[in-house]
Copies of this chain bind each other. A is one copy, B any other.
């Protein structure tokens, strides 16, 4: 599959590399087409990897990952282009973490809205699926056995596509809890303040939660 990965940070690099390993053709998109980080990644990631602008990566992708910083995601997606995003599944793994008021960060949107919903309402013809934002980059593509991740979206077919990708990442079908519509993003994003404090207490970002009944 042709996939666009927006964002050149740790999350973008990790997701893009995993997708190439799985046999996909991946374009990493950055603010500018000549981004050192994106070009550097593509140079080391093999023939199926390329780099470009947000718009290039989005045009390339049949499916697109939003791995940009949450507070910059709307701007990045506007640069990607409403037309290019139209009708496509956009996997939103970003968190709206606002570091401007110190550590730990607050959320730039929460409670009665979420980044996932904000992206969906800004790009109503894009099929936004929130996923994987509850674990750190390494865990996204190297699931911790027995733990859970979440997906939400109002579009079941879009969710199924994302669940299939998560399965390829190593997440067993029963490890992915479907939280329903895109407003479930509020829950998935508001978990971050707890995640950050757990990371502090545990001394590592390499953990996840398992739901136990």
Contacts and interface: CB of A to CB of B under 8 A. Distances in A.
Interface residues of A, number: 41
Nearest to A112: B106
Q: Does more than half of chain A's interface fall in helix, strand or loop, or is it mixed?
A: mixed
Contacts of A150: 194
A191 B180 CA distance: 17
A209 B152 CA distance: 19
A110 interface: yes
Given A111-B106, A180-B201, A212 B213 contact: no
Please indicate which of the listed interface residues A107, A110, A193, A210 has the most CB atoms of chain B within 10 Å of its own CB: A193
Interface of A: 101, 106-107, 110-112, 144-147, 150, 152, 177-180, 184, 186-188, 190-198, 200-202, 204, 206-213
